[in-house]
Chains A and B, each alone.
Chain A
Amino acid sequence: ETGVTQTPRHLVMGMTNKKSLKCEQHLGHNAMYWYKQSAKKPLELMFVYSLEERVENNSVPSRFSPECPNSSHLFLHLHTLQPEDSALYLCASSQDRGGGADTQYFGPGTRLTVL
């Protein structure tokens, strides 16, 4: 039990669909992250939120749109995705952003397949 939950766990969508991924953390943390994990590649940081404000956007295509309504919830809205966007999408949280020892805690991920 990591304290970070993600739904759905699996998602199959067509390139014209619109869907959203949800993340919730129960750890009282102030920072939340979206990562993309593709097979045999390093985790790619997509977005970072600190106290509900976006602090980093690592040149992610606009077909991915994050939303952070409060410090416990994070969404990733998806539209007109491409097959190469198929991957495991991981959400993480940490106490704050900027501390060297600030450990990130991960959710189980959403396995996304784009047809």
Chain B
Amino acid sequence: GQNIDQPTEMTATEGAIVQINCTYQTSGFNGLFWYQQHAGEAPTFLSYNVLDGLEEKGRFSSFLSRSKGYSYLLLKELQMKDSASYLCAVMDSNYQLIWGAGTKLIIKP
């Protein structure tokens, strides 16, 4: 079967750095997405990786290793507004998104 694993919850301190990991086993691979979802709001697109390596976008970076079936989202200079759930999703060979259950990130002052 297809599976996406990410930690259920993480806690970090304002101003610090946090890395949220995602491992996947899917039928084919057509890219990996990270979304942010604040409580009661829509998931919003953060990043897309299809080739190995690091993609940097301001305070957020996303890394992919296809051979390891592994990705991480790196958040730097954490702000209170970064408290949210972070969803990892992989597009399989049928171009269907397979989703993880999300990682709830709690930022403490």
Q: A-side interface residues toward B, CB under 8 Å?
A: 2, 4, 40-43, 45, 56, 90, 97-109, 111
Say yes or no: A45-B96 contact (C-beta < 8 A), given A4-B42, A100-B91.
Answer: yes
Q: B-side interface residues toward A, CB under 8 Å?
A: 4, 8, 30-31, 33, 35, 40-45, 48, 50, 87, 89, 91, 95-102
Question: Once the chains bind, are B101 and A41 in contact (CB under 8 Å)?
Answer: yes
**Smallest Cβ-Cβ distance to A96: which chain B residue:** B95
- Which of A42, A90, A108 is in CB contact (< 8 Å) with B101? A42
- Which of B8, B42, B91, B100 is in CB contact (< 8 Å) with A90? B42
Question: Once the chains bind, are B101 and A40 in contact (CB under 8 Å)?
Answer: yes
- Residues of chain B with a CB closer than 8 A to A99's CB: 95
Question: Once the chains bind, are A100 and B99 in contact (CB under 8 Å)?
Answer: no
- Residues of chain B with a CB closer than 8 A to A90's CB: 42-43
Question: Once the chains bind, are B45 and A100 in contact (CB under 8 Å)?
Answer: no
Question: Once the chains bind, are B44 and A2 in contact (CB under 8 Å)?
Answer: yes
- Residues of chain B with a CB closer than 8 A to A106's CB: 35, 42-44
Question: Once the chains bind, are B33 and A42 in contact (CB under 8 Å)?
Answer: no
Say yes or no: A101-B50 contact (C-beta < 8 A), given A40-B8, A42-B4, A42-B101.
Answer: yes
- Residues of chain B with a CB closer than 8 A to A4's CB: 42
Question: Once the chains bind, are B97 and A104 in contact (CB under 8 Å)?
Answer: yes
**Smallest Cβ-Cβ distance to A4: which chain B residue:** B42
CA distance A94 to B97 in the complex (A): 12
- Which of A40, A97, A108 is in CB contact (< 8 Å) with B41? A108
CA distance A90 to B43 in the complex (A): 9
- Which of A2, A40, A98 is in CB contact (< 8 Å) with B95? A98
Show 27 A/B contacts (Cβ-Cβ < 8 Å), sorted by A.
A4-B42, A40-B101, A41-B101, A42-B99, A42-B100, A42-B101, A42-B102, A43-B87, A43-B97, A45-B96, A90-B42, A90-B43, A97-B95, A99-B95, A100-B30, A100-B91, A100-B95, A101-B31, A102-B95, A103-B45, A103-B48, A104-B45, A105-B45, A106-B43, A108-B40, A109-B42, A111-B40
